[in-house]
Amino acid sequence: MSPTLSRRALLKTTAGLATLGTAVYAGARLVSKTGTVAVRHASGQERENGAMSDTVDVAHAELNSDGTVDRKIHTDYHDCFNPEETVIISDATHDSLTDRFDNIRYYLGHRCPNAKCSTPAVTRGAFNNSNLGETVKLVYHGSTATVVPV
């Protein structure tokens, strides 16, 4: 195979992947739901006797219609979070949670004016980067969602 031919093949492959990536991104933006982050919630579950235990609410913040925020921090995590500030799950805190819980979930409650929205699970990064009252777009995948740029 000549060097020219392999460069052409590489360029075609790269161009094809870029086109596919653009199409997927554009499609995600079209099916996403725009709304306001109204709830930020982190929880964990432990495994007991082979089954998952009740959910432990680690941190919960909810935006009220009057603009005030209700925040609740589990007593075991008062040293990790300031109840008056936005909860950010650092690497160290995430490691501490994974040491205690078998399943950790991060949720964003999403209020959409013209669509049916819910409170899907998101990645820790999406959780940390989304603030109460902020407008975001979520692409729903069953009980989970991906945050896409507005």
Q: How does pLDDT run across 125-134, given as a tens digit for each residue?
A: 999 999 999 9
Q: Which residues make Cβ contacts (< 8 Å) with residue 130, sequence separation at least 6?
A: 37, 40, 108, 122, 136, 147
Residue 19, pLDDT > 70, answer no
Mean pLDDT of the 80-98 span: 91
Q: Which residues make Cβ contacts (< 8 Å) with residue 42, sequence separation at least 6?
A: 57, 58, 59, 60, 87, 89, 97, 104, 105, 106, 107, 127
What is the pTM for the complete model shown?
Answer: 0.74
Mean pLDDT of the 100-121 span: 85
- Is 60 within 8 Å of 39 (Cβ atoms)? yes
Q: Which residue has the higher pLDDT, 100 or 113?
A: 100
Mean pLDDT of the 65-83 span: 91
**Which contacts qualify for 90-99: CB closer than 8 Å, 24 or more apart?**
94/124, 97/42, 97/44, 97/58
Mean pLDDT over the full length of the chain: 81
pLDDT at 48: 77
Q: Which two tokens stand for residue 121?
A: 């699970």
- Is 147 within 8 Å of 125 (Cβ atoms)? no
The pLDDT confidence band at residue 118, using thresholds 50, 70 and 90, is confident
Q: How far apart are CA 54 and CA 31, in angstroms?
A: 33
pLDDT at 6: 60
pLDDT at 28: 41
The pLDDT > 70 percentage for the chain reads: 77
pLDDT at 5: 55
